[in-house]
Amino acid sequence: MTAKPASLISSSLTTKALDPSRRGSKFQQNIDKTHSVGAIYSFVGLVRSIGQQGQPIDVLELEHYPGMTETKLRQIAGYAAQNWQLIGIDVCHRIGPMCPGDVIVHVIVGASHRQKAYEACGYVVEQLKSEIPLWKKEIGNAGASWVTP
């Protein structure tokens, strides 16, 4: 008998470009060493070229609350891992200025079966929208405006 291995849980912030392909590939390698993972769901959030008021966007700036943002990300990833018995979860959110087409956030969850992975991924994405101290500002020819929920 070996003990059930703990989930691989990681969450982070970055100011650099996010590469979902590279992250996804690493994630799969890291969590599926014993081939117990049956399902991986992932979410990629992208900067759109059209803003909330229909205006063209050149830059999206993401302001955050240093310290609290990291803590909340960790809490959400940890809760999801425990609640849905995930084998692994990786959440990375970009902050600072970015351009249309850039990846804002990447969530990956792996579980033995698809239903758990699906629910966990949806949960984390919804929490990112409502429970992480992040604020989006859209900047374009028409000026700058803060996004409202």
Partner 1 sequence: MLVHLLYFGALRETLGVEQEDIVIPANSKLTDLLALLCDRGGIWETLQDPNRGLRAAIDQEFAELDDVLKDGCEVALFPPVTGG
Piece of 2-10, 62-70, 77-85, 112-120 that binds a second copy (CB under 8 A): 112-120
Q: Least Å distance between CB 66 and a second copy?
A: 26
Question: Does residue 11 contact residue 77 with C-beta atoms inside 8 Å?
Answer: yes
- What is the chain's alpha carbon radius of gyration, rounded to the nearest angstrom? 17
59 touching a second copy, by CB under 8 A: no
114-130 vs 68-83: helix axis angle to the nearest 10? 160
Query: Tokens 């992975």 label which residue?
Result: 117
Contacted by 135, from a second copy, partner 1, none: CB < 5 to 8 Å by type: partner 1
Complex with a second copy: residue 46 or 139, whichever CB lies closer = 46
Neighbours of 33 (CB within 10 A): 9
Instruction: Identify residues 18-47 at the interface with a second copy (CB under 8 A).
Output: 20-22, 24-25, 28, 32, 34-47
The token pair that represents 111 in the structure block = 């579980």
Site for a second copy in 1-20 (CB under 8 A): 20
